[in-house]
Amino acid sequence: MSLFDEIVQPTLLLDEAAARANIARAAGKAKRLGLRFRPHFKTHQSAEMGEWFRPEGVKAITASSLEMAEYFAAAGWKDITIAFPANVRQIPQMDALAERVSLGLLAESVETVEALEKGLQHGADLWIKVDVGGHRTGVDWTQVEQAAAVARAARAGRHLRLRGLLTHAGHTYAERGGAAVRQVYDESVARILSVRQALAGLGLGDLEISVGDTPSVSLVEDLGPVNEIRPGNFVLYDAMQLAQIEACRAEDVAAALACPVVALHPQRSEAVIYGGAIHLSKDTFQYGEARAFGLVCLPEGERWGAPLAGAYVRGLSQEHGILRMDAEDLSRLRVGDVVCILPAHSCLTVQVMRRYRTLDGRWVDTLNH
Amino acid sequence: MSLFDEIVQPTLLLDEAAARANIARAAGKAKRLGLRFRPHFKTHQSAEMGEWFRPEGVKAITASSLEMAEYFAAAGWKDITIAFPANVRQIPQMDALAERVSLGLLAESVETVEALEKGLQHGADLWIKVDVGGHRTGVDWTQVEQAAAVARAARAGRHLRLRGLLTHAGHTYAERGGAAVRQVYDESVARILSVRQALAGLGLGDLEISVGDTPSVSLVEDLGPVNEIRPGNFVLYDAMQLAQIEACRAEDVAAALACPVVALHPQRSEAVIYGGAIHLSKDTFQYGEARAFGLVCLPEGERWGAPLAGAYVRGLSQEHGILRMDAEDLSRLRVGDVVCILPAHSCLTVQVMRRYRTLDGRWVDTLNH
């Protein structure tokens, strides 16, 4: 019985070989460049997949929440940065974790540093979160005085060890192709280095630099004078990385949602699948003129094939996905067939699906299952 | 210790009294109009909350998937329609459920009807899904021949009992206010009635009409000559119903995501909360000129207060929410405070959060927890 014969409902397929190749490629690049590789585990969210990083020599990881850090600590990871502004309502839990692992925390305000110093009994590394232009969060790179105040507060404390400056250049996601991504990356690194230099001029020296996002790590050859990279999405990639940013090849995308076809609408060149917002999440990417929720592939043997040209998920409701595709491709589909959707954003699809099925039929759990 | 003192991470708060009042209001309207009330349980997704419908005399429910129908069957519900085009890859599971409960299924093609007839050993009701203009799925209301073919296939079978025509006028969600919603609703009902009349003319008579969406059921006084209504969202409502469609009052919104504040950015009039796409989902609604992921409220006693004027969630990443708010409101916030977000779309927030906490501190599970 083939993999696809067993699909009766939306199922997140995982190509283990592709994921392992993605891991080896990113780890190899970090090694070549002499950078610490601290992959972000928020994409795969799986203790089992975490083990696939160990043969590459990975010892340090990134998590996006305290809960995720606790999950991976229980799986044996000993060096974990929570790359999210420290939530001062969870200091007792952070402290318990800091007793067991080498814990990295982020702050961008003196208040947060003071709350951590007051609440922690165990040591933790502190990274100052810097906003290099993404405008999500962090001390704006032009606000050196603010960064200096946070650094001084950290150096004044007994529990926090000021480790360096950290950023996520999330605005690389708005770019397409190597040259454009490199331009944003180089500008981001120049900005965070300018903060480091200014702090050194104020007597706040010896700061490391931590950066990392999948477009940059995939497309930029020379990552410059940084100490650590923290990409996450590269382990699976997705339709956004493939078709919007052009950060990977189709064969690098290691996860796809297998979905039964439930209705055909040839008069409007659309098909409806069992596979909606609760399976893919509602993230979108730019696909030509359209906002798309995913790309459409067909099963080929025991894997999915290349995305069908011009075919995409144009709408999602709770359980329905609406596929737009050309008439000829549509004419070959039947109710009850399975199609494979490359999600817009694999991190969120993993979070809602909560487990994977490998191409050889094994279930792989995540922290949510 | 107050409810909000105990919040350390994103927590989906449930106002039980508001939810019960919403249930009583909708059930009362159905009773007054002499319509069967078959509420859609895909919004609350909770066996415990399902019990809150029984005192209102509710005996029939709607689910959006076979899995959800199985969950509510296990909770004692005996009359369940799966309001999604029947997935022919799950016929054995449907058949097992049809042995235990009065099961309603949807089809819009002869192929699906034939597959059901071939695979089912137990009887089930069949509803023909009609597209009255929402263009998600269903037989287009102008394609009477297609509807007739499906009806004849169902009448020819031994297991399916053709029950009627069913639609979801999802395009009411694009309207604002009672008059506009009523116009779409009346047009939708006129269209599905025209299909019924045409089928009767072809000798396919005695068909019931099932409709239902929260904007219509909330805003339209006279629901017309239909047999059954299936709204779902009304039990909780959300920011989209409140601020975009104007289908409810602020005090009717029965769920809010409590989130710690982790960073303040007064220079751009924004705050960052621990509460992102994995907590709210990435659905949006129209809020003035902006696409918003939620509205922002502050704790007031043991509930959340009214939404702050002009404040909204302008961006979400995996764990971060970015709030835009006016300078004066922002100046009162501190890192470590809790804010309450009315989600854009409560159904999806419930799905990602997987359980609720009532205002008196009790956990209420859903099918995913």
Q: What per-residue confidence (pLDDT) applies to A169?
A: 85
Q: How far is A107 from chain B (nearest CA, A)?
A: 9
Q: Which residues pair with B125 in a beta bridge?
A: B104, B161
What are the extents of the domains in chain A?
Answer: 4-12+247-365, 16-236
Whether A261 and A337 have beta carbons less than 8 Å apart is answered as yes
Task: Report chain B's mean pLDDT, rounded to a whole number.
Answer: 97
CB contact under 8 A, A318 and B137: no
Chain B residue with Cα closest to A129: B263
Whether B104 and B125 have beta carbons less than 8 Å apart is answered as yes
Q: What per-residue confidence (pLDDT) applies to B40?
A: 98
Within chain B, what is the greatest distance between any pair of CA atoms?
Answer: 70
**Degrees, nearest 5: CA angle B288-B290-B292:** 105
Within 8 A of A292 by CB-CB distance, chain B residues are none
Within 8 A of B214 by CB-CB distance, chain A residues are none
CB contact under 8 A, A137 and B85: no
Question: Dihedrals φ, ψ of A362, to 5°?
Answer: -90, 140
Chain A residue with Cα closest to B353: A352
Question: Dihedrals φ, ψ of A245, to 5°?
Answer: -90, -25
pLDDT (tens digit per residue) in A347-363: 999 999 999 999 999 99
- Given a cut of 90, whether residue B369 has pLDDT beyond it is no
A277 vs B262, B264, B348: nearest CB: B348
> What CATH number should be reported for the domain whose range is B16-237?
3.20.20.10
A281 vs B115, B282, B315: nearest CB: B282
Q: What per-residue confidence (pLDDT) applies to A171?
A: 87
A274 vs B87, B335, B338: nearest CB: B87
> What CATH number should be reported for the domain whose range is B3-12+247-365?
2.40.37.20
- The CA distance from B240 to B291, in Å, is 11
- Given a cut of 90, whether residue B2 has pLDDT beyond it is no
| Residue B22 banded pLDDT, cuts 50, 70, 90 | very high
Q: How far is A32 from chain B (nearest CA, A)?
A: 30
Side chain identity at B121, as an amino acid letter?
Q
pLDDT (tens digit per residue) in A297-330: 999 999 999 999 999 999 999 999 999 999 999 9
Mutant choice from B44, B82, B265 vs A, greatest count of A C-beta within 10 A: B265
CB contact under 8 A, A108 and B263: yes
pLDDT (tens digit per residue) in B179-189: 999 999 999 99
CB contact under 8 A, A265 and B66: no
| Residue B169 banded pLDDT, cuts 50, 70, 90 | confident
- Given a cut of 90, whether residue B322 has pLDDT beyond it is yes
* Neighbouring C-beta atoms of residue A204, cutoff 10 Å: 20
A347 vs B87, B318, B336: nearest CB: B318
pLDDT (tens digit per residue) in A120-171: 999 999 999 999 999 999 999 999 999 999 999 999 999 999 999 999 988 8
Q: A130, A127, A138, A121: which is closest to A105 by C-alpha? A: A127
Within 8 A of B262 by CB-CB distance, chain A residues are 84-88, 112, 137
Q: Which residues of A261-287 are buried (b: 16+ CB within 10 A; e: fewer)?
A: bbbbbeeebbbbbbbbbbbbbbbbbeb
A87 vs B93, B260, B264: nearest CB: B260
Q: What per-residue confidence (pLDDT) applies to A191?
A: 98
Mutant choice from B68, B173, B348 vs A, greatest count of A C-beta within 10 A: B348
Whether B10 and B275 have beta carbons less than 8 Å apart is answered as yes
Q: Which CATH class is domain A4-12+247-365?
A: mainly beta
Q: What per-residue confidence (pLDDT) applies to B171?
A: 87
Q: What per-residue confidence (pLDDT) applies to A172?
A: 85
Q: What per-residue confidence (pLDDT) applies to B173?
A: 87
According to CATH, the topology of domain A16-236 is TIM Barrel (3.20.20)
Q: CB-based contacts of B242: which residues, under 8 Å, 6+ apart? A: B248, B249, B250, B252, B253, B295, B307, B342
- Given a cut of 80, whether residue B67 has pLDDT beyond it is yes
SS (H, E, C) B211-260: ECCHHHHHHCCCCCCCCEECCCHHHCCCHHHHHHHCCCCHHHCCEEEEEE
- Given a cut of 90, whether residue B81 has pLDDT beyond it is yes
pLDDT (tens digit per residue) in B202-233: 999 999 999 999 999 999 999 999 999 999 99
Q: How far is B233 from chain A (nearest CA, A)?
A: 12
- The CA distance from B68 to B66, in Å, is 5
User: Strands B228-229 and B255-265: what pairing?
Assistant: unpaired
